Amino acid sequence: DTGVSQDPRHKITKRGQNVTFRCDPISEHNRLYWYRQTLGQGPEFLTYFQNEAQLEKSRLLSDRFSAERPKGSFSTLEIQRTEQGDSAMYLCASSRTDSGNTIYFGEGSWLTVV
């Protein structure tokens, strides 16, 4: 499978705990994106990387959220001190710089904060 891979697919956590999601992009895709989707809404942009550089962050990305892409390959998204409002699907996507703005999504990581 050469698509975008996300892990874990589902996570249930207690409020106040930290969670981390991992994303492995499509090989040779130098851009990597994180989006969040809640029920009844379209995906909302959180942040993106070109290689290892984080080039843009949405104001949706509060101080409790941090994303890294240390070697320009896989990425992690960590949420600290989770709140019930963090419950959502977290989507990772990737693209190549020369492929325009078409991005390819993974299957998402569901987060439920109880």
- Can residue 4 be called a binding residue for another protein (CB under 8 A)? yes
Please check whether residue 96 is in contact with residue 48, taking contact to mean a CB–CB distance below 8 angstroms: no
Please check whether residue 95 is in contact with residue 29, taking contact to mean a CB–CB distance below 8 angstroms: yes
Whole-number Å distance between alpha carbons of 64 and 58: 13
Please check whether residue 64 is in contact with residue 80, taking contact to mean a CB–CB distance below 8 angstroms: yes
- Can residue 100 be called a binding residue for another protein (CB under 8 A)? yes
Stretch that binds another protein, among 11-19, 59-67, 68-76, 106-114 (CB under 8 A): 106-114
Phi, then psi, of 55 in degrees rounded to 5: -95, -25
How many chain residues bind another protein (CB under 8 A)? 27
Binds another protein (CB under 8 A): choice among 44, 52, 66, 87? 44
Give me the least distance between CB of 101 and another protein, in Å please. Answer: 4
3-class DSSP assignment, residue 99: helix
Stretch that binds another protein, among 11-19, 35-43, 62-70, 79-87 (CB under 8 A): 35-43
Contacts with another protein, residue ranges (CB under 8 A)? 4, 6, 31, 33, 40-45, 48, 55-56, 91, 93, 95, 97, 100-108, 110
